[in-house]
Amino acid sequence: MLLTLTTTHRPATDLGYLLAKHPDRIHSFELPVGAAHVFYPEADEQHCTAALLVDVDPLRLTGEGRGRGRGRTPESFSLGQYVNDRPYAASSLLSSALAKVFRSALRGESRDRPELAAAPIPLQLRVPVLRCRGGANLAARVFAPLGWAVTAAPIPLDETHPQWGESRYVDLTLTGTLRLADALNHLYVLLPVLDDAKHYWVAPDEIDKLLRAGAGWLADHPERAVIVRRYLAHRRALAGEAMARLAAQQLADEPPVDSVAEVEREQAPRQPSLALRRREAVLAALTASGATRVLDLGCGPGALLSALIGDRRYTEIVGTDVSHQALTLAARRLRLDRLPERQRDRVRLWQSALTYRDDRLRGYDAGVLMEVIEHVDPPRLPALEDAVFGHARPATVVVTTPNAEHNVRYEGLGAGQFRHPDHRFEWTRVEFADWVDRVAAAYGYVAEIRGVGDDDSEVGPPTQLAVFRTVGTGTTVGTGTREVAR
């Protein structure tokens, strides 16, 4: 990966003093992942360009050169051990190289030209390959407020396949008149931010590094939230602390003024979200059923579970999901480990799959399938029906699913598109009603269908909900000889 710094300050070769690297020599440094070289492609009175070339050793990146398991970069950085762009694209590796190679220049110090180091000079920085996550215009959004004229030219993905369009990489050129130290600090912080990855584990001391490098420009940066979050590798706790410390710096200067739009947004009476209304509709159906021992089948990260836990009437609450990760997240969100024992004993989280029978799920008062069935391939639905209505057989089953007819009311949702990429189908009201009738008849339930959300006279409500109740027990109902109590 490469970075070039050009100045037209006269004499331009003073750049060598500012960087503390003589223009007529090649300066090489050993880095943990390879080598860094500084050399000058041009160096005369009018123009002087310093190039920083980082030569990454792919073996050291994956730790292979150093024996098993040691010194590996995080998988998120190097895309596991597969081929990756890390040797070519600017990233936190380049920032580390900057910090090592131009240490005094980053601090604004120069033994030979201290007054020049403190003065803005005409500069042009070029990073020929920078992965710009979030699009080329993010580069402009983060650099322009700092006084740079930004050119971020997208690089085509493959010139032999022009129809593939542009890659995620840009050829970045920054032009402006700034202090060299500021310019280097901007790069130091913002290159990894645009790349949105770190080659090392982000520890709390990273906050200090960020605030030090961002001194004088980060606190007022309009994109500081994105910068802080990405720089701190999306670690929420760290980002929160950094933002608080930045806010404190800002308060010292001037009182913050929220944008008008933001204030208005806060004050406008907000319609409760569809997710909330759906949850309330499900809870109302459960309340009406009189259930106390309930199953949340396909509970995900536990949005409904937390509402159930908050209601004392539910003495046993079981959340199931096929995703182990979702259950871990649910346990954390519900703070199960911190609930008092009596509360915690009411809640169980089990990995289970709705296309398999699960003996543990038998004998409950009610089961909820909230926005779940549409994630099951239609040919697998009969297995779900058997497992839930035939085998687990709660006395009440509440099912919600999108109403496909309503999709025309969503802007940006093309015809035939689903609301979620994992949806395997979305049903019209007639399709849902057919399914509900068939399942109820086959398994000895009676069902009732309701809408959730505003009922649009033309296309109906956004969500449809069905409540199934068993028809007694031990009787023969439905299509013939189906045994109800197994």
Partner 1 sequence: MTILDIPELALVALVGVSGSGKSTFAARHFAPSQVLASDAFRAMVADDENDQSASADAFGALHHVAGVRLRRGRLTVVDATNLQPHARAGLVQVAREHDVLPVAIVLDVPEALAWERTQARADRDFDRQVLARMQRDLRRSYGQLAREGFRKVHVLRGVEEIDAAEVRLDKLHNDRRELTGPFDIVGDVHGCRAELEELLARLGFVLHRDDAGRPVDAVHPAGRTAVFVGDLVDRGPDSPGVLRLVMGMVAAGHAICVPGNHEHKLLRKLRGQDVKLTHGLAETMAQLDAEDPAFVTGAATFIDGLASHFVLDGGRLVVAHAGLKEAYHGRASGRVRSFALWGETTGETDEYGLPVRYPWARDYRGAATVVYGHTPTPTPEWINNTLCVDTGCVFGGKLTALRYPERELVAVDAQREWYAPARPLVSAPTRPDTVLDLADVTGRRHLEHAYGTLTVPAENAAAALEVMSRFAVDPGRLVWLPPTMAPCSTSTVEGFLEHPAQAFGDYRSAGVERVVCEEKHMGSRAVVLVEREPGPFGGGVVHTRTGRPFFGPPWDGELLDRVRAAVGTAGLWDELGTDRLLLDCELLPWSAKAGGLIREQYAGVGAAGRAALPAALDALEAAGARGLPVDALRDRMTARRAEIESYSAAYRTYVAPTEGLRGVTLAPFSVLAGAKVTFTDRDHGWHLALADRLCAADPEFFTPTRRQVVELADDAAVTAATDWWLALTGAGGEGMVVKPYAGPAARSARGSLLQPGIKCRGREYLRIIYGPGYTDPAQLAALRRRSLGRKRGLALREHALGLAALDGYAADVPLWRRHALVFAILACESEPVDPRL
Q: Which of 8, 31, 32, 85 binds partner 1 (CB under 8 A)?
A: 85
User: Which lies closer to partner 1 via its Cβ, residue 138 or residue 309?
Assistant: 138
Q: Where are the alpha helices (DSSP H) in 56-91?
A: 58-62, 75-78
Using rule CB under 8 A, residue 431 touches partner 1: no
Question: Does residue 70 touch partner 1 according to CB under 8 A?
Answer: no
Q: Is 2 in the site for partner 1 (CB under 8 A)?
A: yes
Q: Using the rule CB under 8 A, is 297 a contact of partner 1?
A: no
Q: CB-based contacts of 12: which residues, under 8 Å, 6+ apart?
A: 43, 44, 45, 46, 47, 48
Local structure of residue 387 (DSSP, 8 states): I
Is the separation of the CB atoms in 388 and 417 below 8 Å?
A: no
Q: Segment 248-267, which members bind partner 1 (CB under 8 A)? A: none
**By CB under 8 A, which span of 24-32, 262-270, 304-312, 465-473 interacts with partner 1?**
24-32
Name the residue among 37, 75, 74 with its Cα closest to residue 56.
Answer: 37
| Footprint (CB under 8 A) of partner 1, residues 178-207 | none
Does 145 sit behind a cis peptide bond, omega within 30 degrees of 0 on the bond before it?
A: no
List 45, 46, 65, 455, residue binding partner 1 (CB under 8 A) = 65
Residue 82 binds to partner 1 (criterion: CB under 8 A): yes
Q: Could you tell me which of 407, 400, 452, 399 has the C-alpha nearest to residue 273?
A: 452
Tokens 């309503």 appear where? 406
We find the least distance from the C-beta atom of residue 227 to partner 1, in angstroms, to be 23
Stretch that binds partner 1, among 35-43, 267-275, 337-345, 435-443 (CB under 8 A): 35-43
Q: Which helix (H) or strand (E) holds 43?
A: strand 34-43
296 binds partner 1 (CB under 8 A): no
Binding mask 88-107 for partner 1 (x = CB under 8 A): xx------------------
The answer to whether the CB of 53 falls within 8 A of the CB of 2 is yes
Instruction: Determine if 116 is a binding residue for partner 1 (CB under 8 A).
Output: no
**By CB under 8 A, is residue 155 in contact with partner 1?**
yes
Does position 442 interact with partner 1 (CB under 8 A)? The reply is: no
Binder to partner 1 among 142, 189, 317, 354 (CB under 8 A)? 354
355 binds partner 1 (CB under 8 A): yes
Count CB-CB contacts under 10 A for residue 381: 17
| Residue closest to 396 by CA, chosen among 371, 364, 418 | 364
| 477 neighbors 444 (Cβ within 8 angstroms) | yes
User: Which structure tokens are listed for 345?
Assistant: 């004993």
Confirm or reject binding of residue 381 to partner 1 (CB under 8 A): no
* 9 binds partner 1 per the rule CB under 8 A: no
Q: How far is the CB of 105 from partner 1 (least distance, A)?
A: 19
Place of tokens 């969100």: 333
Residues for the chain: how many in total?
486
- Shortest Å distance, C-beta 472 to partner 1: 20
Distance from chain centroid for Cα 43: 45
- Which amino acid does the sequence have at 31? L
Residue count, binding to partner 1 (CB under 8 A): 63
Q: How many beta carbons lie within 10 A of that of residue 239, not counting itself?
A: 20
- Residue ranges in contact with partner 1 by CB under 8 A: 1-2, 4, 24-26, 37, 39-43, 49, 51, 53, 55, 58-59, 64-65, 79-85, 87-89, 128-129, 131, 155-158, 160-161, 164, 167-169, 171, 322-324, 351-359, 375, 377, 379-380, 383, 386, 391
